[in-house]
Amino acid sequence: MSDHAPFPLDGGRAGDGGVRAAAAGRAREASPCLVLKPFASTPTHPSPIEGEGFERERTSARVVKRAREMRAEPTWTEKKLWERLRALPVRFGRQAPVGPYVADFLCHRAALVVEVDGDVHDRTDVALRDLKRDAWFESQGYFTLRVSTRAVEADMDAVVTRIRNLASNRLGKAV
């Protein structure tokens, strides 16, 4: 028989109520279950009815495949920015699939998406798609920072500082 109590279900810390509590005569109230509540910003989607949801799976697999392809062939600008983002103390992923989209760079902890936009994003049709995409990310709790390839090439330090500051602000602590 062990003289250590199991992890507490009442929100206390492990070790609270072990040998010392037993010696002091304290008894722990039994809790029937531990209820975890999701974050308020976590989107909730109904479970698909039997036979539904196939399109979502297929789209998801397509997005993952596209992300892998994009990771295998980064642009010069993405490659250089990735080298700098990897050095930050907060973790970023590159060409990360998120829902129906692939984010150039993504920090899940800070809910921050960084998109590196080339000249093609100046076209009206592409800009409209970008707006739709940004709105979707925002609906999922993400903030999208768009930086031009020209800005990255001209002043990498300023771009990285801006990304670092945004991540710090969103996390509520220095990064």
The answer to whether the CB of 137 falls within 8 A of the CB of 101 is yes
Query: How far from 146 is each of 28, 74, 130, 131, 150, CA to CA, in Å?
Result: 53, 17, 10, 11, 12
**Sign of the Cα pseudo-torsion (33, 38, 44, 48, in order):** negative
| pLDDT, tens digit (0-9, with 9 covering 90-100), for 34-47 | 444 444 444 555 55
State residue 19's pLDDT score: 44
Residue 141: predicted pLDDT: 95
Kindly report whether the global pTM for this prediction surpasses the value 0.85: no
Q: Which two tokens stand for residue 103?
A: 């984010």
State the burial class of residue 163 (Cβ atoms within 10 Å of its Cβ: 0-12, 13-18, 19+). Answer: buried
Domains and CATH numbers, the chain: 54-171 (3.40.960.10)
Phi-psi label, residue 53: left if phi above 0, alpha if psi -120 to 50, beta otherwise: left
144 or 9, which is more confident: 144
Higher-scoring residue by pLDDT: 70, 12: 70
What amino acid is encoded at 151 in this protein? A
* 78, containing H or E segment: helix 76-85
- Crossing angle of helices 156-171/76-85, nearest 10°? 50
Which tokens go with 69? Answer: 């392809």
Residues 62-110: pLDDT tens digits? Answer: 888 888 888 888 899 999 999 999 999 999 999 999 989 999 999 999 9
Q: Calculate the average pLDDT of the chain.
A: 77
* Model pLDDT, residue 110: 96
Q: In terms of residues, how long is the chain? A: 175
Tokens 């989607």 correspond to 45
